[in-house]
Amino acid sequence: MGKPGAAPVVPRHVAIIMDGNGRWAQQHHLPRLSGHEAGRKSVKQVVQAAIDHGVKYLTLYAFSVENWQRPREEVQGLMGLLRGVIREELSEMGKEGIRLRTIGRRQDLPEAVREELEAAIEKTKHHTRLDLILALSYGSRVEITEAVQSIAREVKAGALDPEKIKEETVASHLYTKDIPDPDLLIRTSGEMRVSNFLLWQISYAEIHVTPVLWPDFGKKEFADALADYARRERRFGGI
For the annotated catalytic residues, the residue numbers are 19, 67
| Cα separation, 3 vs 106, whole angstroms | 28
Nearer to ligand FPP, 83 or 173 (CB): 83
- Binding part of the chain for ligand FPP, among 21-29, 45-53, 96-104, 143-151 by CB under 6 A, reads 21-29
Nearer to ligand FPP, 19 or 221 (CB): 19
Question: How many positions of this chain bind ligand FPP (CB under 6 A)?
Answer: 19
> Among 11, 20, 104, 182, which residue sits at the site for ligand FPP (rule: CB under 6 A)?
20
> Exposed e or buried b for every residue in 60-77, given b needs 16+ CB within 10 A?
bbbbbbebeebeeebeeb
> Are the C-beta atoms of 35 and 25 separated by less than 8 Å?
yes
| Cα separation, 211 vs 65, whole angstroms | 24
- SS3 of the chain: helix, strand, coil, percent, to 5: 50, 15, 35
Identify residues 161-200 at the interface with ligand FPP (CB under 6 A).
189
Query: Whole-number minimum distance, CB 45 to ligand FPP, in Å?
Result: 11
What angle is formed at CA 154 by the lines to CA 148 and CA 157, rounded to 5 degrees? 140
> Is 43 a residue that touches ligand FPP (CB under 6 A)?
yes
> Is 21 a residue that touches ligand FPP (CB under 6 A)?
yes
Query: Whole-number minimum distance, CB 23 to ligand FPP, in Å?
Result: 3
> Is 114 a residue that touches ligand FPP (CB under 6 A)?
no
Q: How many whole angstroms from its chain centre is CA 12?
A: 14
Nearer to ligand FPP, 96 or 154 (CB): 96
> Among 1, 31, 40, 129, which residue sits at the site for ligand FPP (rule: CB under 6 A)?
40
Identify residues 54-83 at the interface with ligand FPP (CB under 6 A).
60, 62, 67, 81-82
> Among 19, 116, 131, 181, which residue sits at the site for ligand FPP (rule: CB under 6 A)?
19
The upper half-sphere exposure of residue 22, i.e. CA atoms within 13 Å in the direction of its Cβ, equals 7
| Identity at 205, one-letter amino acid code | A
| Cα separation, 67 vs 30, whole angstroms | 20
Site residues (CB under 6 A) for ligand FPP?
18-23, 36, 39-40, 43, 60, 62, 67, 81-82, 85, 134, 189, 214
